[in-house]
Amino acid sequence: MSEQKNRVVSIGEVMIELSRGNDGRFALASGGDTFNTAVYLARNGVEVAYATALGDDPYSNSIVSLATAEGVSTELIVRVPGRLPGLYMIETNPAGERTFYYWRDTSPAREIFELDEWSRLAETMLNARIIYFSGITLSLYSNVGLGRFLAMLEMARKNGVRIIFDGNYRPRGWKNDVARARTVFAEALKRVDVALPTFDDEAMLWGDRSPEATIERLRAFGISEVVVKNGENGALVAAGGHQEIVPVHEVVQPVDTTAAGDSFNAGYMAARLTGHNPGDAASAAHKLAAAVIQHRGAIMPRQSALMH
């Protein structure tokens, strides 16, 4: 039990990733926002478990093997016989910006809080040090699943678990139902200790006019530590009554911006867990994200990873 108290539990969906290379061929990999963060946390020496549901097919097996190879605990991955994981394809333009195409509507990850094992998973999560999830995580679940997930967060928080959330708003995941997305986000935000949003997402969902407006809105939920990621404009960090812009070290030309925010979040959490203050943590997070966006795909080769 005490071992679990030291770890981060990251919750969401990991999918099969197909990304087109310069030669026009597709490379096969795996990715998903909260999974990417889990991998980069593990590479930074953080004990982390990933919670999701997968099938019993060879592709699901390869995802579990990847998690294991990366040092991410798989005990919270439920296997559902006869099902397949989601699939996404990335097309990247010459500027490194990407377009995603998804096939994920029947992914078992969507039903994790409706499967028979959900209460065992929830019980285990109550003993984590941190629970991390995103707006994409929230978009997966039905109202029943969301109710159970939010209740689990509330119980975990009462148990001393810190709840960390990245807004990561993707309209398509919500079938462009902005009202539902706002309602669900608001319920989640009531249960959050640390928010790591991206300004563009917040502006899209809430109409925020500036990172400062995002911080003001999130503070109204009682969130005491907020880091607003704003691309090459750096990150606006608000914690302990102090607010500062932490600039990027140098603006790099991205090869592929996939997982820029996911890796930033990992770098930030890893630095905070090892005692760094929020400003220094954001600086470390910028460095990791800058390395990641100079590689294709969500998870860069291990030898390129920045370690603390």
Mean pLDDT of 226-232: 95
What mean pLDDT comes out for the span 9-19?
94
Q: What is the pLDDT of residues 118-153, one digit of tens each?
A: 999 999 999 999 999 999 999 999 999 999 999 999
Closest by CA to 147, choosing from 199, 183, 171, is 183
The pLDDT score that the predictor gives to residue 73 is: 98
> Which of the residues are catalytic?
262
In this predicted structure, what is the pLDDT of residue 2?
43
Sign of the torsion angle spanned by Cα atoms 267, 299, 289, 226: negative
User: What's the CA gap between 282 and 257, in Å, rounded?
Assistant: 18
Question: What DSSP assignment string belongs to 105-130?
Answer: TT-GGGGGGGSTTHHHHHHHHTT-SE
Reported as a single tens digit per residue, the pLDDT across 65-78 is 999 999 999 999 99
Confidence of residue 3 (pLDDT cuts 50, 70, 90): low
- What is the distance between the terminal CA atoms of the chain, rounded to a whole angstrom? 27
Extract the tokens encoding 29.
């990999």
Q: What is the pLDDT of residue 293?
A: 65
More confident call, 2 vs 57: 57
Q: Which of 221, 214, 168, 162 is nearest to 190 (CA)?
A: 221
Answer with the residue of higher pLDDT: 19 or 149.
Answer: 149
On the question of pLDDT at 96 being above 80, the answer is: no
Scored b (16 or more CB within 10 A) or e, 157-178 reads beeebbbbbbbbbbeebbeeee
Element (H, E) at 88: strand 87-92
The domain limits of the chain are: 2-304
Q: pTM for the complete prediction? A: 0.93
Residue 306 pLDDT more than 50?
Answer: no
User: pLDDT tens, 240-297?
Assistant: 989 999 988 877 776 666 768 899 999 999 999 999 999 999 999 988 888 876 676 6
pLDDT, greater one: 100 or 258: 100
Portion of the chain with pLDDT greater than 90, in percent: 75
- Nearest-angstrom CA–CA distance, 268 and 273: 9
CATH superfamily, domain at 2-304: Ribokinase (3.40.1190.20)
Provide the pLDDT for residue 285: 93
Q: What tens digit of pLDDT does each residue of 24-53 get? A: 888 898 989 999 999 999 999 999 999 999
Average model confidence (pLDDT) across the chain: 91
Residue-by-residue DSSP string for 221-255: TT--EEEEE-GGG-EEEEETTEEEEE--SS----S
Mean pLDDT of 212-229: 97
Whether the pLDDT of residue 305 is over 50: the answer is no
CB contact at 8 A, 262 and 40? yes
With the C-alpha atoms ordered 91, 200, 163, 174, is the resulting torsion angle positive or negative?
A: negative
**pLDDT exceeding 70 applies to what percent of the chain?**
92
Distances (CA, A) of 5 to 33, 38, 200, 258: 23, 16, 34, 31
